[in-house]
Structure 1
Amino acid sequence: MAIRQAAWITLYLILVLTPQALLFLGEVPPGRDFWWNFSMALGFAGMAMMGVQFALTARIRPMTSPFGVDIIYLFHRYLAWIALAIAAAHFGILWLWYEDRLGPTINPFEADWELTAGRAALVLFGLAVVTSEWRKLLRLEYGLWRYLHVVLATLGFGAAVAHIIGIGYFTASPMNRALWLAATLSWLLLLVWVRLVKPLRQKRAPWRVVEVRPGRNDVWTLAIEPEGHAGLRGFLPGQFAWLTLRNSPFGLREHPFTIASAPESLPRLEFGIKELGDFTSRIGEVRPGDPAWIDAPFGVFSIDRHPEAEGIVGIVGGIGITPMLSMLRSLAARGDRRPVWLFYGNKGWEDVAFREELETLAARLDLRLIHILEDPPEGWQGESGFVTRQVLEAYLPAEPRPLLHCFLCGPTPMTAAAEQALLGMGLPAARIQTEIFELA
């Protein structure tokens, strides 16, 4: 696994650094000093990083499997800021020390078109990053944001390519121009794959909603079954899917949800969906018979990736129960008798989703179910407050802890505190796995 991770990181560095390395190793135009060439290198690096961003969100399974899609998306998010900063530094150096090269005006109606294209690219990339980082603060509905993000990123990419070709400083020679056009073509083909080919493949493998039922704490169970095909293959308990309901798979209306059912229940898939956001607040409006499409399975948050574990620990909060529910259902279906400790945090007793089923699973498995309530009812005899080291130590065996594997899923403050507590108890970091609670 570590070798595959290192190989993908190395490939990323090659994709980002090779274009400008080849350009600068070739025929470098004379008459410019270090800072000018450094600014050009930053421009090419920023452009290359922005281009590779398309690949990071393409959900290419060989790329995502060593890390998990959640980590790849987090990587995408942070790299967007770095790429934007590099592109801004490219412009900043020119503005501070080579202002004469930026033209007499920034008015797009009077400035050279290639300079305007570069400025437009910087603005468009900046808007793409800012509207993504603060989508909720800006009150952008998820579907609208998806469309906006694709448009801003694509237009920004096109403007940047036009800027580079139009300036022609390092791309004037036929070889360098061919190199950069080839890189541009590869990014465009990737965009076609993500926005056209993958949705077309989903369109040819439709699903249909077969059940929608309400549960406690505004958590709905939605079940789908394949229509005219065999269904999902290669699904591990705890993984998730990108789900599109009612809308066309071409419509950028997909949402990530954990598959709460077990692989043993295939071809039927079930999702536990809480009413939280723009889309999920209307989940009760979905009806049996509605069309659905999925892109799945994804994720490394699964017991099947750790068969050597002699015991399993789940520390979850709220709707973060769904991946553990999938794993517990699978353990029960297989008759797996490994010991399981499930610490489940909620605000109140009536907020505990899937409460009755968890009790049933506890009777079928070697499962210790520990509810932790922030606001317990009168007469509550269980744990209250938050997940702490004291609570964990009260239930987990003292030794040998390294043989346990821990799965954490829930609000970030809860998982961060639990992770620190487990490390303090002597659990190796490699045995503590945290699922990022919100991908989009």
Structure 2
Amino acid sequence: MAFTNRAGRRLGTWGGGATRRRLAPILWSAAVTASLAVPWWVVLRLELAHAQGSWRFLSLVASTTAASLLVAAVVLPSRLRAITSHLGIERVLRQHRLLAVVAAVLVAAHVAFVVLHDPEGLGVLDLRRAPPRVWAATIATLALAGQVVLAVSRRSRSPHYERWRLAHVVLANVLMATAALHVLWLRDLTAYGPARWWLGALGAVMVAVTVYRWVWRPLRAQRRAYVVGEVRGGPGATLVVLHARGHAGIPFRPGQFAWLKVGTSPFVFEEHPFTIASTATEPWRKEFAVKPLGDFTRVLARLSPGQRVYLDGPHGAFTLDGLRSSAFVFIAGGVGVTPMLSMLRTMAARGDRRPAVLVVAGRTADDLLHRADHEHLDARLDLRVVEVLEEPPEDWRGEVGWLTEAVLRGALPVRRATGRVDYFVCGPGAMVAATVHMLQELEVGPARIHTELFDVV
């Protein structure tokens, strides 16, 4: 599965990639700041021109700001590579949820201000005699409330992920459509020039993002389809190998991921994210280690050679490319080792001899997915491997128990290397949080710790 922290042209040099990763958050912060500031400026000018009272002013500010933040929340997970490849999936999802929560609070404030402004008080919410604009506002508010309930309920992986995702997408579209109708039918903001231009810009962004996400990207995936080359079952995961058909392959950075779709068309709704485990020097070949977690993973395990698979990607900023590192430490929990495998295999293919330590923690030996290439990578890299198992076999010679600070301290002699040492941590959320805390206790700076969580996106 993917980790949330997943032709022919280069994806960036060391310095250029790092520069873009630093610049992208700044540009996105500027866009969010504009979403917060422009509504105040627009409504303030409207209030100065047509004094309507403080409650009316506050209701318009709250609603316009909420609309701006909702558009920003929709843009974030729309798979714009300029965002996903440099902000990283973890930050994208955190900000997506934060923007949606703030927008929901503003919508609730908007409703309260409308009630306080209107002489009828709560009577303005009586749907029995309400005009269409109130009905549209009510449906939009209920859709937003439904989104909040879905977000709260989505706290752990579930076999019903596709149902949850479908409900999330449907409610989002209902919310944005009815909110737009409410604004159009209300006519107070659309009759004012600056507000009309701002709302029109938000609408144009929504249309562009929708076409990009649901039309252009599937068409692009159709032109760059892959076919199944091999499916090999194993005790801990199923290995799925894909080969490019009719093109040179999709370039990617080691550690990134892609959404996979199986079927006759790239427009099918069901898709899941998986980390690419193969070397980035062979874009025509993609390898995925799929852990059995639900219906879709069982579908992948039953694939036959020659079947067509569509990829949407690459995405994610969990990669060593663009870093001026002298050494690396990779810390993985279970299937979280797959992005590390891609990085290590890419280092081996590039002849990169910078020292590296791979720390892999799991419950049983079946979780040690790196072992298929263990000896091969050892011979081509300056690599040390440390394995930790909770339930080891009788002949086990590695660490026993949990991944502790003592284990990490003994596994990190690479910290004495001169220059910058970067640490990559991937696995379940609790494991990632605990590992980051231990690294900080070992005086590793936060700028050198790169994380991704094992979760559905």
TM-score, normalization by structure 2:
0.88
Of 262, 265, 268 in structure 2, the residue corresponding to residue 245 of structure 1 is: 262
Q: Cα RMSD over matched residues?
A: 2.4
**2: CA distance between counterparts of 1:20 and 1:297?**
37
Secondary structure at the residue paired with 1:304?
Answer: coil
Of 333, 350, 354 in structure 1, the residue corresponding to residue 349 of structure 2 is: 333
Residue 126 of structure 1 corresponds to 145
Secondary structure at the residue paired with 1:131?
Answer: helix
Paired residues for 1:23-422 under 5 Å: 23-26=43-46, 30=50, 32-95=52-115, 98=118, 100=120, 103=123, 106-107=126-127, 110-135=129-154, 141-173=160-192, 176-217=195-236, 219-233=237-251, 235-246=252-263, 248-306=265-323, 308-397=324-413, 399-400=416-417, 403-422=420-439
More deviation, 176-185/254-263? 176-185
**Contact 1:216–1:352 (CA<8 Å) still a contact in 2?**
no
**Contact 1:215–1:353 (CA<8 Å) still a contact in 2?**
no
**2: CA distance between counterparts of 1:31 and 1:348?**
70
**2: CA distance between counterparts of 1:140 and 1:49?**
31
**1: CA distance between counterparts of 2:157 and 2:401?**
33
**2: CA distance between counterparts of 1:99 and 1:291?**
62
Higher relative contact order (CA 8 A, sep 6+): 2
Secondary structure at the residue paired with 2:86?
Answer: coil
More deviation, 165-174/415-424? 165-174
What are the ranges of 5 or more consecutive residues in structure 2 without an aligned counterpart?
Answer: 1-18
Shift, 1:4, TM fit:
3.5
Mark the CA change 1:237 to 1:406 in structure 2 (over 3 Å): closer, same or farther: same
- In structure 1, give the amino acid aligned to 2:162: G
TM-score, normalization by structure 1:
0.91
Residues 28-87 of structure 1, C-alpha deviations (whole Å, 9 max, x = no match):
574533233112211111111112222111221223333113321221122212211211
Secondary structure at the residue paired with 1:264?
Answer: coil
More deviation, 251-260/138-147? 138-147
Mark the CA change 1:303 to 1:297 in structure 2 (over 3 Å): closer, same or farther: same
More deviation, 110-119/377-386? 377-386
Mark the CA change 1:69 to 1:334 in structure 2 (over 3 Å): closer, same or farther: same
- In structure 2, give the amino acid aligned to 1:10: A
Residues 253-292 of structure 1, C-alpha deviations (whole Å, 9 max, x = no match):
2211111000223311111111113422332222222211
Mark the CA change 1:211 to 1:132 in structure 2 (over 3 Å): closer, same or farther: farther
Of 41, 44, 51 in structure 2, the residue corresponding to residue 21 of structure 1 is: 41
**Contact 1:118–1:163 (CA<8 Å) still a contact in 2?**
yes
- In structure 1, give the amino acid aligned to 2:359: F
Residues 110-157 of structure 1, C-alpha deviations (whole Å, 9 max, x = no match):
321101111110111221332244247796723333332222111111
Size of the aligned set, in residue pairs, is 436
**Contact 2:355–2:382 (CA<8 Å) still a contact in 1?**
yes
Mark the CA change 1:281 to 1:136 in structure 2 (over 3 Å): closer, same or farther: farther
**2: CA distance between counterparts of 1:374 and 1:281?**
27
Shift, 1:163, TM fit:
1.0
Residues 8-45 of structure 1, C-alpha deviations (whole Å, 9 max, x = no match):
21122213432452243136574533233112211111
Secondary structure at the residue paired with 1:228?
Answer: coil
**Contact 2:337–2:360 (CA<8 Å) still a contact in 1?**
yes
**2: CA distance between counterparts of 1:147 and 1:99?**
40
Percent sequence identity over aligned pairs? 35
What are the ranges of 5 or more consecutive residues in structure 1 without an aligned counterpart?
Answer: none
**Contact 1:59–1:69 (CA<8 Å) still a contact in 2?**
no
